[in-house]
Amino acid sequence: MIGYVQPAPPSLDVRGVRFAYPDGHVALQQVDLTVPKGDRVALLGPNGAGKTTLVLHLNGILTAAAGTVTVGGLTVDSDRATLAEIRRRVGIVFQDPDDQLFLPTVAEDVAFGPANLGLRGPELAARVDEALTAVGMLEHRDRAPHHLSFGQRRRVAVATVLAMHPEILVLDEPSSNLDPAARRELATILRGLPVTLLMVTHDLPYALELCERSVILDGGRIVADGTTPDLLADADLLARHRLELPYGFDPAVAAARLAATPDRSAPARPAA
């Protein structure tokens, strides 16, 4: 057909993934999950549900016993060149930012990944400044990471991943240990990023604020997949899978308030 444009492949396509640890514990059972390009999805579930195990399959740290994982049309396998590209496409931000920050300055930490891809000189400097600007940390580029607040370090950890120009940004408990202001600032940043987002979290209000869709994983299986307001409004579903809303939190009221907030998706630089 003249003028037909082939749709972009999904950022993430997990099909029939099964995985068992050496002790025989089956952590994932026939997991299917598709995340279209540009979507923001929360991955919810109790401790031990298999969330971390699934995340480690996305960039080839763990290999499925059965099934496939595809990132932006590229299938995760054991080929070294393929794995290198997959790990560029899948940017994982760990729960503790100190697991990702280990060099003398913020700029050096953010430059580490792109430098390993071969970037040098002005191109590398531009990539660093671009990533730090996206998280509102450019003016701190020459500071030592350990001199920053926890919330600032988390933003720098996000920048280290953004500097790789990932296909999908995977966040592990991004709101944990943040004070209310830092939590809000990070939400502002994440809403403004033009990247697919998979957020692993127990923070259900944060999932509602940032992700249109949520998936519940329990016992190594996807047990629910739907809009975040609908899932959080199902008290029986949450109770069956050991998920709890904060006392007094009404997801319907919160969703209506969020929907009425003008231009929630527009990027905005938070306070440094």
Q: 51 is in which domain, residue-wise?
A: 12-96+170-260
Residue 108 lies in a domain: no
Average pLDDT, the chain: 91
Residue 130 lies in a domain: no
Give 265's pLDDT tier (boundaries 50, 70, 90).
very low
Give 269's pLDDT tier (boundaries 50, 70, 90).
very low
pLDDT given at position 251: 86
Residue 135 lies in a domain: no
The rounded percent of the chain whose pLDDT value lies above 70 is 94
pLDDT given at position 2: 59
Q: End-to-end CA distance of the chain, in Å? A: 51
Residue 32 lies in a domain: yes
pLDDT given at position 27: 96
pLDDT single digits (tens) 44-96: 999 999 999 999 999 999 999 999 999 999 999 878 888 999 999 999 999 99
Number of compact structural domains in the chain: 1
Residue 113 lies in a domain: no
Residue 125 lies in a domain: no
pLDDT given at position 96: 93
Residue 250 lies in a domain: yes
Residue 151 lies in a domain: no
| pLDDT over threshold 60, residue 272 | no
Give 249's pLDDT tier (boundaries 50, 70, 90).
confident
The answer to which of 23-27, 66-70, 263-267 has the lowest mean pLDDT is: 263-267
Q: Please tell me the pTM assigned to this model.
A: 0.90
**CATH number of the domain that residue 235 is part of:** 3.40.50.300
| pLDDT over threshold 70, residue 5 | no
pLDDT given at position 39: 97
Give 262's pLDDT tier (boundaries 50, 70, 90).
low
pLDDT given at position 6: 66
pLDDT single digits (tens) 139-173: 999 999 999 999 999 999 999 999 999 999 999 99
